[in-house]
Structure 1
């Protein structure tokens, strides 16, 4: 048997050698591509680290921080090793002339694509959901409820932020529908507005999910006394149970003279009736970053809207934006409250005259703009409102009501801007890049220059986004200096 195995191994070697001429070119090309990819990955990794070093990281290092720096370097080295894979191949060959067996061990270090994101965003306390008695991200576990269509008469639904939210449930309603639920689908079709739940007959299927805190009515109370509905013989709804302690914060779905339908902020599954006479104090939810509006300034094409989208996607529980208003008609596929709020031109002009618009403009005879009420609605939801607006909007926003944090996104110098643009697949012409630089200079030296709190040079979106989130995180911990008029 050992001889048979040796014969089979030699036969396989002969077959491989026979195929070698046909595969030689492919192997050479594959080797070259691997080498190029490895070199490119290391260059990009080194470039990102060099940018980080030159733009401020080195300024934070002192002689007293040597041990900390060494620890960070060790941590970076460990992370770098995790982003590399080592492949070892072991082959045995026999010299056809001498009969000497030769063993070859080849070790290859393969650079993974993760290395291209060496400075990716790390989870920080401000970007992660909060627990331990604070705001919880609700479990968006959809559930299907089968009811008779007549049961819809036992609930009240309000459209909030484009969603159908159940705000009131009668005691005789179906037990599977709770205040604070969002109706996402009816019989498998998306629930867009109240017409989706009217005129229905027979058995229907509702798809429900718990509504996020910012998607429900922004009315909050801190209770000043304990209450357990299970111990209250006068309660009108036996199947909705809620237990609150002194100091708990509840979100009000609806209320009348005698009862309040509410849910606990730190446990959204606890929904029920509270007596209106319960001792309580009305409170408001503040954004954890200490500012109410984040204003991103920058020339068109500098990347501020991309950064805004990245921020909204990274932490929707803390950041939101507004839906603009327009006087034009909705186009096919557009939905009210999603792309725009569609109003009449007369209504837009009235809002402008009454000072209710943060900014506005006209295009092709139609008006577009951002209303102050939409910004206030985001602030009342406890999130930071993110706006990418013109510098002129600061005339409306730079006050104690909105308390903005203003960030100016700028491009690098034109020569470097051109070099970076050459790395893009779709390159912009030189005159367009020059226009971006010129507009950035106008903003930096314009009448609102003194209202800019932070300037970020956008060479790389990942790096710039990381620095933006770092700056927002510092708002939570560092002492902030704001105009004295904001505190009066």
Structure 2
């Protein structure tokens, strides 16, 4: 009997130690066990009290599970009691499981099929705000990396759509540009009666049809229904002015009858879409819904927008097949309001659906050669007897829009970019070791050969040891595109929040 009692006490002590450690760990990890320290048990507690503790723990977990079904971490206790048929000793086993739930979010293309329509019957165009949330399509991306979806992420998050019904064709009374599958109004003519269409508006649909499917706008006849919303800031002109005086257009008798006015406070910045000797047609940059006319004389100096990242160019380098172009596209899709890419030049003839300045800038071979000789091209090449290349001027134009110019180029372009004018952040995307590369390669639709993979790794090693390496700021090994993209985003976030160290020569530009 004494031996059995001693054995039971030893088991009780061991059980108490396990229980105490379990409760303490649960408190540390998730804070679910809010038991008072006075309820923790010492070695003199009876087996009955210890059993009660298990009951409290199980009850506590059940309550937690009922009260927090969406918790990321859950604890489940399962209890079993067995009895030894020979000795009659009962054995109680409690198994505690921690279930960790992870959540992953993926961007998927969603068709813009929400109901944004508003019934309007007034011939002069009755406006009504659509309070429903917009959906964003990201499945259509231009060849050069810029967004070509009908709606911009910037528009969708900050503005509302409106529907206008007209009994005439307004496109003879306005000037417009086609930009990224939108029709952006740049100027409304003085004699126009389309007073509800303003510079800075983007037409998304005409009679329920996407503007991408309508070519000859001036030939439209009959009643016309326009779906309109403010164009993204970065898709308008990179021309900004700061107001030096307050302006209230309701007291200005000079305003043409059919025009809405843009009331301003001193210090407001406007984006100018068109200008004559007296008036500017523009909109406030901090509220894209406010657009209209304002007099030229209340505007002071022309101003430019600076990127919040402190760098003007983001360079992605890497050997073929390492994923830098995919990362570039992901970044342009994720934050088109902060990043843009430079449109390349080519000497070939435009294809039927290509537009000047969208896919390429089309130039003659002689003009391309002149730019190369003048040092204006950061990189260039020849394919099928035609020249292709990236010009410094297009990079400057991108920067003037207030965005970071995103380039995926070769290392030979770095000497043109690594200076005070462009202040680049240079990121090298490296392939993983050969074993990881083989696993990743299996997922490719057209896998590389073993020789190609080894050649890419060797080429990357040479690049790391080259004279260009001193210009690399960050090296990211791409084992997984999603993880690498997240690390790139974290790096960019640090640029906004932390002190940056740049070459001293960049701060003494003359």
Whole-Å separation in 1 of the counterparts to 2:445 and 2:181: 37
- Aligned to 1:353, which of 344, 369, 373? 373
User: Residue in 1 aligned with 2:187?
Assistant: 168
User: Residue in 2 aligned with 1:451?
Assistant: 471
Q: Which has the higher contact order (CA 8 A, sep 6+)?
A: 1
Shift of 1:312: 1.2
Shift of 1:255: 1.3
Q: Runs of 5+ in structure 2 lacking a partner?
A: 1-25, 32-63, 78-95, 107-153
- Asked if the contact 1:320/1:378 (under 8 Å) is kept, the reply is yes
User: Residue in 1 aligned with 2:459?
Assistant: 439
Q: 1:245 and 2:270 equivalent? A: no
Q: 1:151 and 2:170 equivalent? A: yes
Shift of 1:319: 1.2
Instruction: Give the match's secondary structure for 2:172.
Output: helix
Shift of 1:406: 0.3
CA-to-aligned-CA distance 1:285-320 (integer Å, 9 cap, x gap): 011100011000000011111111111111111112
User: Residue in 1 aligned with 2:277?
Assistant: 257
User: Residue in 1 aligned with 2:326?
Assistant: 306
User: Residue in 2 aligned with 1:294?
Assistant: 314
User: Residue in 1 aligned with 2:58?
Assistant: none
User: Residue in 1 aligned with 2:230?
Assistant: 210
Whole-Å separation in 1 of the counterparts to 2:318 and 2:187: 45
Q: 1:161 to 1:401 in 2, by over 3 A?
A: farther
Q: Runs of 5+ in structure 1 lacking a partner?
A: 1-69, 89-106, 118-134
User: Residue in 2 aligned with 1:284?
Assistant: 304
Instruction: Give the match's secondary structure for 2:328.
Output: helix
TM-score with structure 1 setting the length: 0.69
User: Residue in 2 aligned with 1:178?
Assistant: 198
Shift of 1:87: 11
- Asked if the contact 1:162/1:338 (under 8 Å) is kept, the reply is no
Whole-Å separation in 2 of the counterparts to 1:460 and 1:404: 25
- Aligned to 1:383, which of 403, 425, 435? 403
- Asked if the contact 2:342/2:398 (under 8 Å) is kept, the reply is yes
- Asked if the contact 2:376/2:393 (under 8 Å) is kept, the reply is yes
Shift of 1:390: 0.4
Shift of 1:420: 4.8
Q: 1:232 to 1:303 in 2, by over 3 A?
A: same
Instruction: Give the match's secondary structure for 2:337.
Output: coil
Instruction: Name the count of aligned residue pairs.
Output: 384
Q: 1:469 and 2:480 equivalent? A: no
Q: 1:484 and 2:479 equivalent? A: no
Whole-Å separation in 2 of the counterparts to 1:291 and 1:381: 14
Q: 1:338 to 1:461 in 2, by over 3 A?
A: same
Q: 1:277 to 1:330 in 2, by over 3 A?
A: closer
Shift of 1:416: 3.9
User: Residue in 1 aligned with 2:385?
Assistant: 365
Whole-Å separation in 2 of the counterparts to 1:328 and 1:110: 60
Whole-Å separation in 1 of the counterparts to 2:402 and 2:258: 32
Range moving further from structure 2, 220-229 or 344-353: 344-353
- Report 1:33-72 matches (<5 A): none
- Asked if the contact 1:136/1:266 (under 8 Å) is kept, the reply is no
- Report 1:68-83 matches (<5 A): 82=71
Whole-Å separation in 1 of the counterparts to 2:255 and 2:424: 45
Shift of 1:153: 3.2
Whole-Å separation in 1 of the counterparts to 2:30 and 2:334: 28
TM-score with structure 2 setting the length: 0.66
User: Residue in 1 aligned with 2:247?
Assistant: 227
* Higher normalized helix content (fraction of residues): 1
- Asked if the contact 1:136/1:265 (under 8 Å) is kept, the reply is no
Whole-Å separation in 2 of the counterparts to 1:194 and 1:424: 37
- Asked if the contact 1:219/1:252 (under 8 Å) is kept, the reply is yes
Report which of the two structures shows the higher radius of gyration computed on alpha carbons.
2
